[in-house]
Amino acid sequence: MTGRRSLRPARPLEVVVVGAGLGGLSAAAHLSKAGHTVTIVERESIPGGRAGMIVEDGFRLDNGPTVLTMPNLLADAFEAAGADMADFITIDKVDPMYRACYADGSTLFVRHGREAMTQEIREFASGKEAEAFGRFCDWLEQLYRVEMAHFIDANFDSPLDLVKPWRAGLELVKLGGFGKLGKKVASFFDDERLQRIFSFQSMYAGLAPYEALSLYAVITYMDSVEGVFVPRGGMHAMATGLAAAVEKAGVTIRYDSPVTRILRDGDGAVTGVELGGSPGGAQGAERIAADAVVCNPDLPVAYRTLLGGVEAPRVARRGKYSPSCLLWVAGVRGLPPADAAHHNIHFGHDWDGSFKALIHDGVRMPDPSILVTLHSLDDATLAPEGCSSIYVLEPTPNLDGKIDWAAERERIMGSLRARVAQLGYPTDVVVERVYDPLDWEALGMERGTPFALAHTFLQTGPFRPNNVDRRVPGLVFTGSSTLPGVGVPMVLVSGKLAAQRVDEYARERR
């Protein structure tokens, strides 16, 4: 495990970062701190990658991640670029963090802070459940403390690296980290509604609560204990702010510059990238020389499209991928219901049955649970007066499932729109975008899912596609499809880990 080595390179390298997503930007920030010369090449005209934005008819619509947790990790990236995050973006807490609406008609507001949430649970359920929440938070904090230092913020060279921090591993066992998440949460709460709100986060890892290991409750810690935040100007502001910070630190960003090949020498080591050519290498295509390349695109897609002749790791080719989603983002006329929150989760009736349909049967949830996010509710600059931005996400099978999206898209979207209207949200559309698994695939995401490989135990840590490949010296991966995994916090960490790998490579070249 190499996460604790110095970031001081033997000598500065010329590094090209492919993609200005959050992983690529984080890597660039840490690389600049280490003294490397960094150029980012981005195929789009804006930074952000999956954290993009649609600007049209007076609306500013986020079309990527919608929940920001652990903003300290974002601040760390700014600090690596020699910047104070507050000089580039403003982060506000979201309170209530969620409005959870259940099929029985009850509503729970998930509050920011332990004391406020304890009181909310006391009024929603009982004093017994409120006391249980305190014990649950204590357990989550212990879990996070063990995992973050030893298993998340760390590079791995082999599965044996799991054994080295043996005391931490033993503590994880004592904490019940290798039991099932659903059962562990149920050991704290009798109320099935509370079990749902404190275990749904396993979906971020591509797993049902009944199959996810308890150690993935670390996502619940980030979400429910550390809290949910939002940047002013929308989630995309994270990318624009960090891009500005790394440019100020001396990083060059070239937009509208799609990479068509990662170039290698006769020994397989990277020598740079090719822009604007064909996979076979068109004459006249521009080439940028580099000592090392950090690759932010989805790892299995990058192997297939940028590294001809080098097969992706077996787990990337044959592993279990997370479910996908149907995402509807729209600028609409009208305002949301008076009791709506920034994030609204509408749970269906059958909890376990929905996961079985989605993950195991490969079909649409019979009674879908959906997320409705209203960014303009707390930021009036994102929509014209009297209008709202609306972001609706329904989990769906990925392209390994049984849905024929070419044939079924309009029918499924029609039922989703009808559900949103029935729930009281405005649906008089001014501008909209719809993304289904075929769209995610066209955007460069394996199996049509923006959530990468599922976080089963054998697809996590040293078993996940590594961020380096001995067959291609000088190539380093960042993003959700490599270490440590999915979600904004993990992707930001992946950028730092990628920078550490470049530094290791610099020492090897000495």
Sign (positive or negative) of CA dihedral 199, 205, 208, 212: negative
- Identify the pLDDT of residue 161: 78
Band of residue 4 on the pLDDT scale cut at 50, 70, 90: very low
Structure tokens at 315: 């787990």
User: What pTM value is reported for the model?
Assistant: 0.95
pLDDT, tens digit, 9 for 90 and up, residues 174-204: 999 889 999 999 999 999 999 999 999 999 8
393 sits in which H/E element:
strand 387-396
At 294, the amino acid letter reads V
Query: pLDDT class for 5, splitting at 50, 70, 90?
Result: very low
Residue 284's pLDDT is what?
63
Does pLDDT of 27 surpass 90? yes
> Would you give the distance in Å from CA 107 to the centre of its chain?
27
Cα separations (Å) of 292 from 67, 463, 467? Answer: 32, 24, 13
Average pLDDT estimate for 371-393: 98
Which pLDDT does position 245 carry in this prediction?
98
Segment of 148-152, 164-168, 353-357 carrying the highest mean pLDDT: 353-357
Q: Any idea which of 6-20, 83-97, 474-488 has the lowest mean pLDDT?
A: 6-20
- Mean pLDDT in residue range 373-387: 97
Q: In the chain, where does the domain assigned CATH 3.50.50.60 lie?
A: 14-52+70-89+234-318+455-508
19-38 average pLDDT score = 98
- The verdict on whether omega for the bond into residue 209 sits within 30 degrees of 0, i.e. cis, is no
* Burial class, 66, CB count within 10 angstroms (exposed 0-12 / middle 13-18 / buried 19+): buried
Q: Which pLDDT score, from 0 to 100, does residue 3 have?
A: 45
Q: Say how far apart CA 221 and CA 451 lie, in whole Å.
A: 19
Mean pLDDT of the chain: 94
Res. 449: pLDDT tops 60? yes
User: What is the pLDDT, as a whole number, of residue 164?
Assistant: 77
Q: For the ranges 146-155, 196-205, 274-283, 477-486, which has the lowest average pLDDT?
A: 274-283
Of 158-172, 291-305, 380-394, 480-494, the one with minimum mean pLDDT is: 158-172
Q: Is the pLDDT of residue 388 over 90?
A: yes
> Is the N-terminal amide bond of 12 cis, ω within 30° of 0?
no
On whether the 14-52+70-89+234-318+455-508 domain is CATH 3.50.50.60, my answer is yes
